[in-house]
């Protein structure tokens, strides 16, 4: 078995052999060792391989590098997942450019029945943070695995909130597992591993987090998931690449709308406008679209406040109403410290947004 692993790693090191060609070779020969031991003439006859690639395979001799990687995997208990391994993420098998070998450290089930990716800008706003936190909380009522890219901003918020709500969360990274990038997320990565999550990559050890690695990382995020949710993204960047790839893989793509004047929401708004993503304005929308609404493990309250931006006065009223089931308008006036007119205006706006309901006797409650 270890000998076959050596050949599996070696296959990923052969020049001129990319994801598609490697997969073609595995389908033809059945295993990596058979590919690397094949005669040049036999390799040349395989469609798409030709003389140049066949020569690269037969001339390959960098087995010491492959041996070093196998030693790293054994020392740090990193699990190799070859494309023929039953534990390999089966959703990726439907993607034409799936990597033939993944490196995984963790215990989360990469073939769980529900896997959701949440990605977004590295420079999020408070609105993006609120949306992400509330959405992850809603997902905690389902048996899901949460996927993201371990980056700053929305990715990190999603991972942290998943930990808070006991959701296994996996970070797909664009470098080897001998490091964590960004370094500030080392503690987060450690907690993810400790709490039943994981770290996943297609890159062997000592591979730095170079910029050109991240589009490849993004395709794994998209391919391994049932749905990809974008929370705040510019018109360009990694999140948009993930969304485009997810769309090409026929994954469900959702985007949270934002202000038309906010550059951080420009990408989300574009995806919605071009019908490449479904508009996501509350948790109910997502659960309905995925057919998961009736599969919640426990009764849920409607997530009416998920994507609403409240001003300071409205936030005070909502906070007070969270303390008691119902509250009289006079008590709201007294405890909020606001003027009567300010409370009346805030209450009216909250009613119009469907966040609170007026009851007989000038009583109010959260919906």
Question: Mean pLDDT, 10 residues at a time, over the chain (367 residues)?
Answer: 91 94 94 96 94 96 96 96 95 93 97 96 93 92 94 97 97 97 97 97 96 95 97 93 94 94 93 94 86 56 54 88 83 85 83 79 81
Range list of H helices, the chain: 2-13, 19-29, 32-36, 40-44, 50-59, 63-75, 126-139, 154-164, 186-194, 214-223, 238-248, 266-273, 283-290, 312-323, 329-336, 340-352
Contact 172, 224 (CB under 8 A): yes
Going by C-beta distance under 8 Å and a sequence separation of 6 or more, which residues neighbour residue 69? 9, 204, 205
The pLDDT of residue 355 is 85
Q: Which helix (H) or strand (E) holds 167?
A: none
The pLDDT of residue 303 is 44
Please give the C-alpha separations between residue 321 and each of 134, 346, 352, 364, in angstroms, as whole numbers.
18, 13, 16, 8
The pLDDT of residue 341 is 80
Assigned fold of 312-366: Arc Repressor Mutant, subunit A (1.10.10)
Q: Is 102 helix (H, G, I), strand (E, B) or coil?
A: strand
Q: In the CATH scheme, what is the code of domain 115-295?
A: 3.40.50.450
Q: What's the chain's Rg over C-alpha atoms?
A: 25
List the chain domain ranges: 1-74, 115-295, 312-366
The pLDDT of residue 322 is 84
The pLDDT of residue 319 is 86
The pLDDT of residue 121 is 95
For residue 300, report the phi and psi dihedrals to the nearest 5 degrees: -115, 150
Contact 120, 161 (CB under 8 A): no
1-74 is classed in which CATH architecture?
A: Orthogonal Bundle (1.10)
Neighbours of 318 (CB within 10 A): 17
The pLDDT of residue 1 is 56
The pLDDT of residue 354 is 77
Confidence (pTM): 0.79
Q: Which pair of structure tokens corresponds to residue 145?
A: 């695995």
């Amino acid at each position: 078995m270890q000998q076959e692993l050596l050949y599996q790693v070696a296959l990923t090191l052969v020049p001129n052999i990319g994801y598609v060609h490697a997969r073609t070779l595995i389908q033809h020969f059945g295993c990596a060792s058979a590919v690397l031991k094949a005669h040049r003439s036999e390799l040349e006859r395989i469609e798409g391989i030709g003389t140049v690639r066949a020569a690269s395979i037969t001339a390959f001799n960098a087995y010491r590098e492959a041996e070093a990687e196998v030693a790293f995997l054994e020392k740090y208990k990193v699990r190799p997942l070859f494309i023929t391994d039953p534990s390999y993420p089966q959703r990726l098998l439907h993607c034409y450019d799936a990597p033939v070998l993944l490196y995984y450290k963790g215990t989360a089930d990469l073939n769980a029945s529900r896997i959701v990716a949440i990605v977004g800008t590295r420079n999020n706003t408070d609105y993006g943070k609120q949306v992400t936190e509330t959405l992850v909380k809603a997902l905690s009522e389902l048996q899901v695995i949460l996927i993201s890219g371990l980056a700053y901003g929305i990715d990190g918020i999603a991972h942290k909130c998943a930990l808070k709500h006991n959701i296994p969360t996996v970070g797909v990274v664009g470098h080897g597992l001998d490091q964590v990038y960004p370094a500030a997320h080392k503690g987060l990565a450690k907690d993810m591993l400790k709490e039943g999550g994981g770290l996943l990559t297609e890159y062997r050890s000592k591979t730095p987090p170079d910029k050109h690695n991240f589009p490849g990382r993004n395709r794994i995020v998209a391919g391994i998931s049932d749905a990809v949710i974008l929370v705040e993204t510019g018109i360009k960047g990694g999140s948009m690449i993930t969304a485009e790839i997810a769309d090409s893989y026929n994954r469900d793509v959702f985007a949270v709308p934002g202000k038309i004047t906010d550059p951080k929401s420009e990408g989300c708004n574009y995806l919605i406008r071009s019908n490449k993503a479904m508009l996501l304005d509350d948790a109910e929308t997502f659960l309905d679209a995925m057919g998961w609404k009736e599969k919640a493990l426990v009764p849920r309250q409607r997530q009416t406040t998920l994507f609403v931006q409240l001003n300071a006065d409205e936030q005070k009223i909502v906070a007070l109403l969270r303390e008691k089931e119902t509250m009289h308008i006079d008590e709201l006036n007294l405890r909020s410290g606001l003027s009567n007119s300010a409370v009346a205006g805030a209450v009216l706006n909250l009613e119009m947004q469907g966040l609170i309901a007026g009851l007989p006797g000038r009583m109010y409650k959260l919906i």
